[in-house]
Amino acid sequence: MEVVRIIGVFLAFAFLHSLCVRERVKLAVADLLGEEFVRGCYRFLYTVFSVVIVTLTFRYIHSLEDLVLYKGPPLFRWSMHIIQLGGLIFGVMTFRVIDGMEFTGLRQVTAFLRKWPVLGDIEGIRGTLLIQDGTYGIVRHPLYLAGIIIFTFEPNITRNGLTVTVLADLYFLFGILTEERRFIKRYGEEYLQYMKRVPRFIPWPRKK
């Protein structure tokens, strides 16, 4: 029963989270509240909304009765945690080549509240060039890879935890495929060539 509940609440989370990313939703909000407001505030509100629904989702899942499936010896657990830490560091390194303030919307909302002009696309993202260096030169989706590593290498395996890991990894894969379609539409041939050079999320040796 708990597994069914987890699947249900996770699907509700995934639906809401994915809905807010859709261009049609952003444009609909722009029609309702104005393009200037959306450019200045949407990204930040989306970040806050994402944090809130993730927190509520995991608090609910944590409240459910669980069952331990496997708890390995200390060496196994520490090894898995080291791999998780590596995934976290890899994800953090991504912010050496992308603007974290802009990524979370803090830069846009600060400019909006100070009545400064907010440039860029519908979310106030100013970067127009395809990022191909840093962690993006290793894999095409470093943040998704970091998430997959952190979830997949959790050493304390429980029924609920395993269910969440499978659902989270599937959602990351869905996000990767969705993002690639969006980037092909946006960058065209440049992104297609990038796809040939850089692996999706398993860092094989770079193609020449």
**Domain locations along the chain:** 2-197
Give me 29's structure tokens: 């909000």
Q: Print burial letters for 35-48: b (CB count within 10 Å at least 16), e (below 16).
A: eeebbbbbbbebee
Reported as a pLDDT band with limits 50, 70 and 90, residue 71 is: confident
Looking at residue 119, the DSSP 8-state letter turns out to be -
Give me 100's structure tokens: 């974290």
Q: Are 147 and 172 in contact (CB under 8 A)?
A: yes
Closest by Cα among 26, 19, 17, 22 to 50: 17
Q: Is the pLDDT of residue 204 over 80?
A: no
Please give the sequence-ordered ranges of beta strands (E in DSSP) within 104-184, or none if there are none. Answer: 156-158
**What is the reported pLDDT for 129?**
83
- pLDDT tens digits along 90-136: 999 999 999 999 999 999 999 999 999 998 888 999 877 899 999 99
**What is the reported pLDDT for 23?**
86
Residue 127's contacts (CB-CB under 8 Å, 6 or more residues apart) are 98, 99, 102, 120
- pLDDT tens digits along 145-161: 999 999 999 999 999 99
**What is the reported pLDDT for 1?**
82
Q: Are 140 and 204 in contact (CB under 8 A)?
A: no
